[in-house]
Structure 1
Amino acid sequence: MSNPEVPYRSGFVALVGRPNAGKTTLTNRLVGDKVGIVSNRPQTTRHAIRGVVHRPEGQLVLVDTPGLHKPKSLLGQRLNDVVRDTLTEVDVVVFCIPADQPVGAGDAFIARQLRNVSTPVVLVVTKTDAASKKQITEQLVAASQLVEAREVVPVSAVADDQVDLLADLLIGMLPEGPPLYPDDQLTDDDVERQIAELVREAALEKVRQEVPHSLAVSVEEIVRKPDPRDPDAVFTELHVLLHCERPSQKPMLLGKGGATIKAIGSEARVGLEHLLGGRVHLALHVTVLGEWQDDPKKLQRLGY
């Protein structure tokens, strides 16, 4: 129960940072459930994903954004546009800089973007579990020189170190107001996109070379019906397309004798059954969608 003497606060917080800075892992830890996919591949996040943190004293709506970067395609430009639009629509910006990598040109680029907005900034040094105390101290100093921040906080989402402290700090910076989402809602991402993202996450772990950057996923059909094994349960049939850009990439996704596509399906099914609350039949098909990252019509079709 909330304390009537303490004003309830609610609002939006954007997490920004260069690709692979730990934004999605931190978002998932703050929410307490998986709302965004995680991979060691740069530019894994391609949409602004909202995760909702519920506390007695307030509600924190996290907007996990794609990594800001120097774009090499129309898709890259649009991902950067998503971030810039988000910066003007939130109450607080969390600038994530990993503790285990030197502060570089990508971080400086983001810092310059932040100087153009009036939104207060909290600087978070992430991945402290992967760095020594000396590295963390040096990174805190280096990061503090990049941007004027209200607070500077080292955290580890993996080790759950100082995550609650960060949540309390962020809620305290939000305006007074009622909850923005029901208390049982953890994300506003629609189910179809969550399905596509879980399949893409599994594929990112199974393929190498140039395929991850060229991979997009779309859901063709969702059929839900009573489970023949249990009439009280729901059985879901999913037909999902994996799009690559070149014919040479298709065999990489399929694998010898279909081994790779089967492995993608097996891994994705675990998360899908958790998401959909029942058994899932997942049919995956690979298609070639030529140079989709630079084609406006194809990007629109894929939801970018």
Structure 2
Amino acid sequence: MNFTDTPDGFRSGFMSFVGRPNTGKSTLTNALVGHKIAITANQPETTRHPIRGIVHREDAQIVVVDTPGLHRPRTLLGERLNEIVKDTYSDVDVIGLCVPADEKIGPGDRWILEAVRKVAPRTPLLGIVTKIDKASRDEVAAQLVALHELLGENAEVVPVSARSHEQLDVLLDVVTSLLPEGPRFYPEDHLTDEDVETRIAELIREAALSGLRDELPHSVAVEVDEILPDPEREGVQNVHAVIYVERPGQRRILAGPDNRRLRRIVYQARPAIMELLGTNVYLDLRMKVLKNWQSDPKSLGRLGF
């Protein structure tokens, strides 16, 4: 059967998660798709561009769009990320507002809800209480009530845990019920429409972010220069990539004494890149200073923002 041929009553559409940074949106995206397509880290604002993951069901095809977290921007990059997010919300069929079970709803959540309703006033809103594995039953119940009050009495609210996969089927059932009838957009073997170089750059950035604190994570960007077959070793792909930071001091921190931290980044990123490419990989990773790239329009354009 062609992937555009669908049974009667089949539903398809796009849904996006919204929420403060670090509310579990990327982890939830990966859990629903059943494959790692979005990087995760302990730092806020890890996601920097919309990532589409495809969930295939017998009765529906759901394209989950993982977006950067809406936030009050401090840099030109932050402003551009917010614009990307708002553009995404205006095009999707369902928006899921994510609130962690172990954090009280606050002004940031209300600000995000107001921003979403301005951009997409007619799009159905679904409440999602994430990280229920980190909270007690009473805490989860209280958060469900609070989120229901925030969204209004007609909104559906679902508690989930991406890590333990609890309630994910329930969430997908609710999302499916909110989608319009329509055909499949992607063949059933597709998990994402992300290009390979972007996914590799993100895997390297994920390894680089591991263990970083304070402002340094926001200053890290990765660009893949080229992917070439090794001329001397059959079955080996040479991946050449650059990590950019904004200041020489950041470069020293990220590289570590005697480049030990840089070697660890290579060690951590290489297995995931090998899995993605399905072949052995030699990862050539360099570091460069791109001064204040988060606020420089030319540098942002070069890095795809």
Give the structure-1-normalised TM-score: 0.94
Out of 23, 27, 30, the residue aligned to residue 28 of structure 1 is 30
For 1:300 and 1:5, locate their aligned partners in 2 and report how far apart those are by CA, in whole Å.
Answer: 43
For 1:5 and 1:60, locate their aligned partners in 2 and report how far apart those are by CA, in whole Å.
Answer: 15
Partners of 2:98 and 2:127 within 8 A in 1: yes
Question: AA paired with 1:267?
Answer: Q
Aligned-residue offset at 1:186: 0.3
Question: AA paired with 2:272?
Answer: G
Does 2:85 align with 1:60?
A: no
Alignment match, 2:248: 247
Which whole-Å deviations, capped at 9, do the CAs of 1:203-228 have from their partners, x for residues lacking one?
Answer: 00043343211101111111135883
Partners of 2:201 and 2:224 within 8 A in 1: yes
Moved more, 136-145 or 280-289: 136-145
For 1:200 and 1:264, locate their aligned partners in 2 and report how far apart those are by CA, in whole Å.
Answer: 9
Question: AA paired with 1:147?
Answer: L
Question: AA paired with 1:193?
Answer: T
Question: AA paired with 2:18?
Answer: V
Aligned-residue offset at 1:150: 2.9
Out of 7, 18, 40, the residue aligned to residue 38 of structure 1 is 40
Aligned-residue offset at 1:302: 0.5
Aligned pairs for 1:94-173 within 5 A:
94-116=96-118, 117=120, 118-148=122-152, 150-173=155-178
Which whole-Å deviations, capped at 9, do the CAs of 1:158-203 have from their partners, x for residues lacking one?
Answer: 0100001111221221111111011111001111110100000000
Does 2:219 align with 1:214?
A: yes
Moved more, 219-228 or 108-117: 219-228
Moved more, 67-76 or 200-209: 200-209
Alignment match, 2:229: 224
1:145–1:253 distance in 2 versus 1, CA, 3 Å:
same
Partners of 2:94 and 2:123 within 8 A in 1: yes
**SS at structure 2 position matched to 1:251:** helix
Partners of 2:237 and 2:281 within 8 A in 1: yes
Partners of 1:8 and 1:176 within 8 A in 2: yes
Partners of 1:206 and 1:263 within 8 A in 2: no
Alignment match, 1:174: 179
Aligned-residue offset at 1:147: 2.1
**SS at structure 1 position matched to 2:150:** coil
Alignment match, 1:17: 19
For 1:104 and 1:256, locate their aligned partners in 2 and report how far apart those are by CA, in whole Å.
Answer: 41
Question: AA paired with 1:181?
Answer: Y
Which whole-Å deviations, capped at 9, do the CAs of 1:225-273 have from their partners, x for residues lacking one?
Answer: 5883xx5xx4210111000001111111111111000000000001101
Does 2:284 align with 1:279?
A: no
Does 2:185 align with 1:183?
A: no
Question: AA paired with 1:168?
Answer: D
Partners of 1:207 and 1:252 within 8 A in 2: no
Alignment match, 1:295: 296
Identity %: 50
For 2:110 and 2:180, locate their aligned partners in 1 and report how far apart those are by CA, in whole Å.
Answer: 29
Question: AA paired with 1:182?
Answer: P
Does 2:28 align with 1:48?
A: no
1:285–1:225 distance in 2 versus 1, CA, 3 Å:
closer
Partners of 1:50 and 1:188 within 8 A in 2: yes
For 2:221 and 2:246, locate their aligned partners in 1 and report how far apart those are by CA, in whole Å.
Answer: 9
For 1:114 and 1:147, locate their aligned partners in 2 and report how far apart those are by CA, in whole Å.
Answer: 12
For 1:284 and 1:25, locate their aligned partners in 2 and report how far apart those are by CA, in whole Å.
Answer: 26
RMSD: 1.7
1:89–1:283 distance in 2 versus 1, CA, 3 Å:
same
